[in-house]
Structure 1
Amino acid sequence: MNSVRGILNFRHIINGNILMTLFLLILTDMQAQINQNEKPNIVFILVDDLGWKDLGVQGSDYYLTPEIDKLAKEGVRFTNAYAANPVCSPTRASILTGMDPAHQKVNISNWIGAQKYEDRSGDELMQPRIADHLALDRITMAESLKANGYSTYFIGKWHLGETEEYWPENQGFDVNIAGWSRGNPGSFFSPYNNPRLEDGPDGEYLPFRLEREAISLLEKHTKQSNNPFFMYFSMYNVHTPIEAPENFIEIFKNRQEKLGLDSNGVYENDKGVKHRINQSDATYASMVWAMDSVVGSLMNKLEELGLDENTMVIFFSDNGGLSAPGYGVTSNKPLRGGKGWVYEGGIREPLIIKYPPLTDEDSNRVVEYPVISHDFFPTLVDVSGVDKKPDQQFSGISLKPILSSEEMPDRSLYWHYPHYSPQGGKPASVIRSGDWKLIHFYESGENELYNLNADPSESTNLASLKPELASSLEDDLMQYLKDIKAQFPKEK
């Protein structure tokens, strides 16, 4: 009898331990899910070729962007935000790696495909060769977030690899919709001839198709997963070809007349290149309006699904607006130049960040602190609490402190564009230190020096009046480029 009781007691103890173990496992799993859900969702909206002044909140009188203007009121707007490069692929590489794209380990200082499609026989200098893809051994933003429990979704333009082994699905994204080798969609109306996007009905407009794809992903994720998500919505708008629905174009033609705008555009000459200096192109305005509508739909869907209180939203552009030549459809004035140029119009971008922990006092705030596109990756590492590998390098810094109105360190920003652009830009490197900006041009070896606080239009070159400052900044710039083992143009 005692032995039977002993066996029963033993079984009771064992069963109790099993139950306790199961309880602890369930509790641990629940806690993990709670901690997972505490990580913010992230929606990164990258617009293609959107100029610094192409938003109402940035000063445009012609374009209509009510949804993005609303986002700015709910978040923080940066007035000195920069792309890493005046053309697209390098900036995209900097966002995904957190590194200066001119760094030897990235080596994407020009748009991928430039060397294949352009005849540069008339150029004075020989451009360095760049990588034709984002290397698989670079840890991307998506790979880092995915390794820490995030579901990762890519939608839109990729342009970081000529072959599919380098496309989004092989760079950390669970889902890839429409991302492939091309930077230009070919047509904004179906058929798209895109291997990562099924054609829609004839005449379907690409921005609205990608909007529906994004909303569908959000709905599926909410139903099927407890993981936080990272959605990288990399729009093809407002890149060429400049195309929009006819009913949209008619609206902005009427708006032209109402505002008394010259529909043919007004231009000025800068170093032998004509740049548009007014915003009046009805088709481009329609593309901006469509882009704004897509942003509004995404924000509304986040709210409808109850995700808006725990979703960080970043809105940015990959380079300046296209002001010259040929497709000069917008103006970046008062900034000088545009896409393909290292003047402010080519590299300064609209940036809005909506960060859930912000209080009402923090929102609708304007920040003048200079930031750059390789700051995004370290920022997301910081706000999401993901693990950064010990050997992982960042050229940028976290912007989390400034989102909460904390002080940020003084630093210099650098750009390296040792190439000739289709828009007339010449090989150059740049440093911004405080209010001072120095541009070093490689053809002539000359420097241009501007005080951006007093002269944001870069109209008065002070290099001859401040030779010591110019020399000091040039030394700093060249040392930086040496440190990152950047490539330089050479004599032919």
Structure 2
Amino acid sequence: MLKNSSKYIQVFFLGIFTSLSAYAQDYSDNDKPNILFILVDDLGWKDLGVQGSDYYLTPEIDELARNGVRFTDAYAANPVCSPTRASIITGIDPAHEDVNITNWIGAQEYENRSKDKMIQPVIADNLALERTTIAESFSENGYSTYFIGKWHLGETEEFWPENQGFDKNIAGWSKGNPGSFFSPYSNPRLEDGPDGEYLPFRLGREANSLMEEHAKNQPEKPFFMYFSMYNVHTPIEAPEELTRLFEQRRKSLGLESEGEYEIDSGVKIRTNQSDATYAAMIWAMDSVVGKLKDKLSELGLEENTMIVFFSDNGGLSAPGYGVTSNKPLRGGKGWIYEGGIREPLFIKYPPLTDSKKGTTVGLPVISNDFFPTLLDVANIKYEEDQFSGRSIKNVLQGKSFSKRNLYWHYPHYSPQGGKPASAIRSGDWKLIHFYENDTYELYNLMSDPEEKTDLASLKLDLVNELKTELENYLNSIGASFPKAKE
């Protein structure tokens, strides 16, 4: 398998097209860039070299971060996948009554279990067709729209990407888990490849073929490509030859093969990164990102393509698979602590970011912001009250951004040990409301990003202020709440 897949796992560094630099300086708001939105599944905040990992190798993504703008306080709208994906597609808080996707679609088997203290609210099992999607907006404004990878926003075919504004859909359907990362895939939107073909490499080739086809047949039209990887979700699978390389790397670094753990809120949480198969999955994901960048350069599209790189929730640190650690952040996927919702975010668009490339931005942003931001960059008009998020285009240009609060609502129990909760971030302060016991925790994220020191008992006035703002917000969007069992 290594012989057949080696060309997809090599790292290439191509030179910059210096002849196009003048274009970057002459950028006009009338230009409509191509947009490549890369969403990784379950990638933790620290799962990249540029984010501080000493074990995982991600040279291509690290290079993207160095040549773009890196956000240190970027958030998913929810600690699990489907809600965050809904927020990206609609620009609306997934807890809003018009969306009502606050858990991953298909989670019914985990709902209302006998040991749970509360009854979880019922969520929508699809993204309603009445909602205007990001693909529909771009399509209506002259873009070709392509979807590749994981969808997980509709139980039945009528709600899949091709019926939500995408001209082409490759591999997107109801399931959030690929079943197997090796062909045969049993995916109705992806033909099986040769036995043993690795899914990330296959989807990377599909994306590059679409870009080639677009450049050949529609060179006058911009494209919006939503490349939504199945990596690095379970099942944890990678080519054996890649896994062996990371087993060797683990030994050379003296890491514990079985992992290291601590107990947090009664749950076993992984505290180090040493899983070789997971490291191989990350390497494969990174190499695909490199191939996408190479293809843009080859087609002469690099300077006029905006690349956004993001993850849908925190890394899987507990329980069961527990393959990575989000330390120093607390918790992981399924938790409303920082490890479950804070994500790596890099944005590169030379006309806007070249003057700021390599810089870090500490402004808190959230996945609801992507839709209005991309419309803003593409000079497509919209009504601000259409979205829960706000455009961060000004931030990419180094301009000011007025203060606002961010909100999360996860009224569910997660398989990873998370419990029903809501949260608000206001400046450096974060207040969490846990519904089981009606308790509040308060953290200063500037001085305590690890959320170790609960200051709620010392800051009662601030707790009451943020509590009121959180309650008013959730009521204003018609959010659903868990209920105590009788």
Which category describes the TM-score, using the shorter chain as reference length? over 0.9
* Residues 29 and 377, structure 2, Cα contact 8 Å, conserved in 1: no
Tell whether 2:427 aligns with 1:411.
Answer: no
Would the aligned equivalents of 2:405 and 2:424 in 1 still touch at CA under 8 Å? yes
Pick aligned residue for 1:316 from 300, 310, 323: 310
Question: How far apart, CA to CA, are the structure 1 residues paired with 2:289 and 2:53?
Answer: 18
Give the CA deviation at 1:360: 3.9
Instruction: Report SS of the residue matched to 1:340.
Output: coil
Q: Deviations over 1:437-464 (max 9, x none)?
A: 0000000101000000000000000000
The aligned residue for residue 97 of structure 1 is 90
Q: Give the match for residue 144 of structure 1.
A: 137
Give me the whole-angstrom Cα distance separating, in 2, the residues matched to 1:396 and 1:432. 14
Q: 1:307 aligns with which of 276, 295, 301?
A: 301
The match for 1:170 is 163
Partner of 1:25: none
**Bigger radius of gyration:** 1
Matched, 1:351 2:345: yes
Q: Does 1:227 align with 2:221?
A: yes
2:17 matched residue in structure 1: none
1:424 partner letter: G
CA displacement 1:322-367 (0-9 Å, x = unmatched): 0000010000000000000000000000000002313643111100
Whole-angstrom CA distance in 1 between matches of 2:126 and 2:203: 24
Q: How many Å separate the matches in 1 of 2:436 and 2:60?
A: 44
1:194 to 182, 187, 194: 187
Does the CA-based 8 Å contact 1:84-1:100 persist in structure 2?
A: yes
1:395 to 388, 401, 406: 388
The answer to whether the 8 A contact 1:441-1:447 is kept is yes
What SS does the aligned partner of 2:306 have? strand
Deviation at 1:427, TM superposition (A): 0.2
Structure-to-structure mapping, 1:99-114, within 5 angstroms: 99-114=92-107
- Picking from 63, 67, 81, the partner of 1:88 is 81
Q: Is the CA contact 2:110–2:413 (under 8 Å) kept in the aligned structure 1?
A: no
Contact kept? 1:126, 1:491, Cα under 8 Å? yes
CA-CA distance at 1:393 after TM superposition: 1.5
Give the corresponding residue for 2:22. Answer: none
- Aligned match for 1:329, one of 323, 332, 354: 323
Give the aligned partner of residue 147 of structure 2.
154
Name 1:20's counterpart in structure 2. none
SS of match in other structure, 2:262? strand
Of 354-363 and 440-449, the range deviating more from structure 2: 354-363
CA distance in 2 between partners of 1:424 and 1:175 (Å):
37
Q: How far apart are 1:36 and its partner, in Å?
A: 12
- After superposition, the C-alpha distances for 1:270-310 in whole angstroms (9 at most, x for unaligned) are 01100000000000000000000000000010001000010
Q: Deviations over 1:339-398 (max 9, x none)?
A: 00000000000000002313643111100000000000000110101232x596200000
Please list every run of 5 or more consecutive structure 1 residues that lacks an aligned counterpart in the other structure. Answer: 1-34
Residue 66 of structure 1 corresponds to which residue in structure 2?
Answer: 59
Any residues of structure 2 matched to 1:423-442 within 5 Å, and which? 423-442=416-435
| Deviating more after overlay: 411-420 vs 108-117 | 108-117
TM-score calculated relative to the size of structure 1: 0.92
Matched residue of 1:143: which SS?
helix
Contact 2:330–2:339 (Cα < 8 Å) also in 1: yes
| Structure-2 residue corresponding to 1:42 | 35
Q: Residue 244 of structure 1 aligns with which residue? A: 238
Structure 2, unaligned runs of 5 or more: 1-27
The answer on whether the counterparts of 1:67 and 1:295 sit within 8 Å (CA) in structure 2 is yes
Q: How much has 1:121 moved relative to structure 2?
A: 2.3
- Describe the SS at the equivalent of 1:212: helix
Structure 2 counterpart of 1:491, one-letter code: A
Aligned pairs for 1:279-298 within 5 A: 279-298=273-292
Which SS does the other structure have where 1:464 is aligned? helix
Query: Alignment length, in residue pairs?
Result: 458
Partner Cα distance (2:256, 2:355) in 1: 41
- Give the residue type in structure 2 aligned to 1:268: E
Q: Distance in 1 between matches of 2:355 and 2:377?
A: 19
- 1:73 and 1:363 in contact (8 A); partners too: yes
Say whether 1:181 aligns with 2:174. yes
Native 8 Å contact 2:184 2:192 kept in 1: yes
Residues 212-247 of structure 1: per-residue CA shift (max 9 Å, x gap): 000000000000002100000000000000000000
Structure 2 CA distance, aligned partners of 1:197 and 1:372?
A: 31
Rounded to whole Å, the distance in 2 between the matches of 1:37 and 1:170 is 29
> What's 2:270 paired with?
276
2:19 — aligned with what? none
Which of the residues 58, 68, 73 maps onto 1:75? Answer: 68
Judge conservation of contact 1:36–1:228 (CA < 8 Å) in 2.
Answer: no
Letter in 1 for 2:260: V
CA–CA distance in structure 2, aligned partners of residues 359 and 229 of structure 1: 20
RMSD: 1.4
CA distance in 1, matches of 2:91, 2:60: 28
Separation in structure 1 between the aligned mates of residue 197 and residue 70 of structure 2, nearest angstrom: 33
Contact kept, 8 Å, 1:37 with 1:227, in 2: the verdict is: no
* Aligned counterpart in structure 2 of residue 374 of structure 1, from 364, 368, 374: 368
